[in-house]
Amino acid sequence: GDDILSLAHEWDIDLEGACEGSIACSTCHVILQPNVYDVLPEPSDDENDMLDLAFGLTDTSRLGCQVL
């Protein structure tokens, strides 16, 4: 896929993705630049629920596997 998690793996960047994109973990948590965050579609309810469990949650946090 073209999501951040897949891209990170393609480029050998160490981003975990324990559940491989099924919104069942928060190991793919990424903190985005505000200008990037602002142009993305809103996170789904499922993503928000999982983000609530992410360590170090910020206002511009997303699940990497859900960001296209």
Q: Output b/e per residue, 11-49; b: 16+ Cβ within 10 A.
A: eeeebebeeebebebbebbbebeeeebeeeeebeeebee
Which residue ranges make up the site for ligand FES (CB under 6 A)?
A: 5, 17-21, 23-25, 27-28, 50, 63, 65
Q: Which is nearer to ligand FES, 18 or 36 (CB)?
A: 18
Least distance (Å) between residue 34 CB and ligand FES? 21
Least distance (Å) between residue 54 CB and ligand FES? 9
Least distance (Å) between residue 2 CB and ligand FES? 14
